[in-house]
Amino acid sequence: MDFIKYNIEEIMMIAVALAVVCLLFYILKSKKRRRKVGFYINFVMFKLGLVKRMSKTYIGMVHVTESYEPLVELKPHHKIIINETAEQPVMLRKSVMNRLYDVADRLDDGVYIKIYSAYRSRIRLNEIWQEEISKAEKDNPGMNRAELLAMVKYKVAAPNINMGGHDTGAAIDLSLCDKNGSDWDFGSRYHEKTGSVSLSNEQKKNIKYLNRLMRSQGFVQQPSQWWHYSYGDRYWAVYKGRRRGAVYGSAEKEFENTGYVRVVKTISSKANIK
């Protein structure tokens, strides 16, 4: 008893060390548990600023519990301008659309939202992918295939990778602009590479203002693109640290012999009542 009494601190340290070793052994023994722990470690590192973005490996790990919430067409709003790049009709999941309306309602006088892209069908995603590949090949004749694909993937998602995004109806590309549709200065144009080192104070302020507006309604920004926001898809869930939190998967499914078929209901703008 005297031995325990006079060595209690050392004994406790050994007991804790053994418990940690046993816990690590328990975690590392299972691949599923290793991936789960890795997800949360990556999330903590992102929140601490140790990594710039969540790994695509962990984005792909997010489980989607599809809500089958309908896609709704955008109804006219005096604070929303539609850019010609947006697929027509402009559609988003109902809850996502309502959150966008709430953002628009909060804008100051003279400030407008410009939508560059919302829901994109799988067919359109494939078309955009091929268009960007062709353009990149024409503009960069000496570039090898791997570099070319990496450059294109920065601008548009590969259509065969389901990471969430525009095909879910839960993601939107947008900017702030004046009544004539002229964008605020965000340091780069839509789909140009973004950076922070060369940004002016005004550009940083504009990005933070847009981010604050969107975050107030629950949206999450994709770190490498100031214009891309989402709610409820895999990107949103991973940056919220919710491994099983996504509620919107692709709005279309591919079936043999029939191709892509939309599996969620669509509501026209005439029936779109907030």
pTM exceeding 0.85: no
Residue 218 falls within a domain, yes or no? Answer: yes
Predicted pLDDT at 273: 46
Residue 57 falls within a domain, yes or no? Answer: no
Predicted pLDDT at 6: 53
Chain segment 179-215, per-residue pLDDT in tens: 999 999 999 988 776 655 688 999 999 999 999 999 9
Q: Structural domain of residue 17, as residue ranges?
A: 2-51
254-259 average pLDDT score: 74
Q: Which residues contact 201 (CB under 8 A, 6 or more apart)?
A: none
Indicate whether 177 and 211 sit together in one domain: yes
Q: Where are the beta strands (DSSP E) in the chain?
A: 71-73, 80-82, 91-93, 112-117, 171-177, 220-221, 228-230, 252-255, 259-262, 266-267
Residue 39 falls within a domain, yes or no? Answer: yes
Domain count, the chain: 2
Would you state the structure tokens that stand for residue 259, as one six-digit string?
Answer: 């191709």
Indicate whether 147 and 175 sit together in one domain: yes
Contact 232, 247 (CB under 8 A): yes
Indicate whether 130 and 241 sit together in one domain: yes
Chain segment 51-98, per-residue pLDDT in tens: 888 888 888 889 999 999 999 999 999 999 999 888 889 999 999 999
Of the listed ranges 58-67, 154-163, 221-230, the one predicted with least confidence: 154-163
Contact 122, 252 (CB under 8 A): yes
Indicate whether 120 and 182 sit together in one domain: yes
Q: How many CA atoms lie within 13 A of 81 on its CB side?
A: 16
Indicate whether 157 and 81 sit together in one domain: yes
Strands 112-117, 91-93: pairing kind? unpaired
Chain segment 101-131, per-residue pLDDT in tens: 999 999 999 999 999 999 988 777 777 778 8
- Of the candidates 226, 189, 243, the one whose C-alpha atom is nearest the C-alpha of residue 43 is 243
Residue 94 falls within a domain, yes or no? Answer: yes
Indicate whether 103 and 20 sit together in one domain: no
Residue 162 falls within a domain, yes or no? Answer: yes
Indicate whether 142 and 11 sit together in one domain: no
Predicted pLDDT at 178: 96
Indicate whether 21 and 91 sit together in one domain: no
Would you state the structure tokens that stand for residue 25, as one six-digit string?
Answer: 């052994």
Indicate whether 90 and 113 sit together in one domain: yes
Residue type, 113: I
